A and B are shown apart, each in its own frame.
Chain A
Amino acid sequence: MTAHLTIDNLAKRYASTTALDEVSFEVEPGELKVLLGPSGSGKSTVLKAVAGLISPTRGRVLVRGKDITDIPIHRRNIGLVMQGYSLFPHMTAYENVAFPLRTPMHRCGQRDLHERVVRMFELTGLAGLESQRPAELSGGQQQRVALARALVFSPEVLLLDEPLAALDRELRERMQEEIRRIHRTLGMTIIYVTHDQSEAMKVADRIVVLNRGRVAQEGSAVQLYESPIDEFVAHFLGGANFVTGTVTSIRNGHLNVEVGDVELRVPSVDGLRPETQVTLMVRPERVQVGVPDAGSNHLPGTVVDSTYLGSALQTIVSLSDGTVWKSNVTPARSRVQAGAPTHLHWRIEDTRVLAAQQTPTNTPLEASNEP
Chain B
Amino acid sequence: MPSIETQPHASRRTAAAVAFARKSRGGLLLLLPALGYLCLFFFLPLVFLLLQSALTPDNYLRVFRESVYLDVMYRTARMSLAVTGVCLVLGYPFAYFMSTASERMVNVAVGVVILPFWTSILVRSYAWLVLLQREGIVNKVLLNLKLIDHPLKLVYNLNGVICGISYIMLPYMILVLYASMRNIDLQLLVVARSLGATRLRAFYRIFVPLTASGVMAGCSLVFILSFGYFITPALLGGREQTTFSMLIDIQMNQLLDWRFGATLSAVLLLVIMLLVVAVRRIVRVERSVQWIQ
Contacts and interface: CB of A to CB of B under 8 A. Distances in A.
**Chains A and B belong together in one complex:** yes
Interface of A: 51-53, 73-80, 82, 84, 86, 88-90, 92, 99-100, 103-106, 131, 133, 149-150, 153
A84 B52 CA distance: 60
Contact of B194 (A79, A84, A88, A104): A79
Contact of A104 (B185, B192, B198, B206): B198
Main secondary structure of the interface of A (DSSP, over half): loop
10 contacts: A53-B190, A74-B193, A80-B194, A82-B187, A86-B188, A88-B206, A99-B195, A103-B196, A104-B201, A106-B196
Interface string B192-222: 1111111101000110011010000000000
B187 A103 contact: no
Interface residues of B, number: 22
B141 interface: no
A52 B193 CA distance: 10
Nearest to A85: B191
Q: Top 5 nearest A-B pairs by Cβ distance?
A: A105-B196, A103-B196, A100-B195, A80-B194, A86-B191
Contact of A86 (B187, B197, B199, B293): B187
Contacts, number: 68
B290 interface: yes
Contacts of B293: 92, 131
A99 B290 contact: no
B291 interface: yes
B188 A73 contact: no
A149 B209 CA distance: 19
Interface of B: 185, 187-188, 190-199, 201, 205-206, 209-210, 212, 290-291, 293
A327 to B, nearest CB: 41
B194, B291, B293 — most chain A CB neighbours (10 Å): B194
B209 A90 contact: yes
Nearest to A86: B191
Contacts of A84: 185, 187
Given A79-B194, A103-B198, A153-B195, 12 more contacts: A74-B196, A74-B199, A75-B196, A76-B194, A84-B185, A84-B187, A86-B188, A86-B191, A88-B206, A89-B210, A90-B290, A99-B197
A112 to B, nearest CB: 15
Nearest to B198: A74
Contacts of A153: 195-196
Contact of A103 (B185, B197, B290): B197
A78 B196 contact: no
Contacts of B193: 73-74
Contacts of B194: 51-53, 73-74, 76, 78-80, 150
Contacts of B290: 90, 133
A99 B290 CA distance: 16
A133 B196 CA distance: 22
Given A74-B196, A106-B196, A88 B201 contact: no
Contact of B197 (A74, A78, A131): A74
Contacts of B199: 74
A79, A92, A99, A100 — most chain B CB neighbours (10 Å): A99
A104 B197 CA distance: 7
A86, A100, A153 — most chain B CB neighbours (10 Å): A86
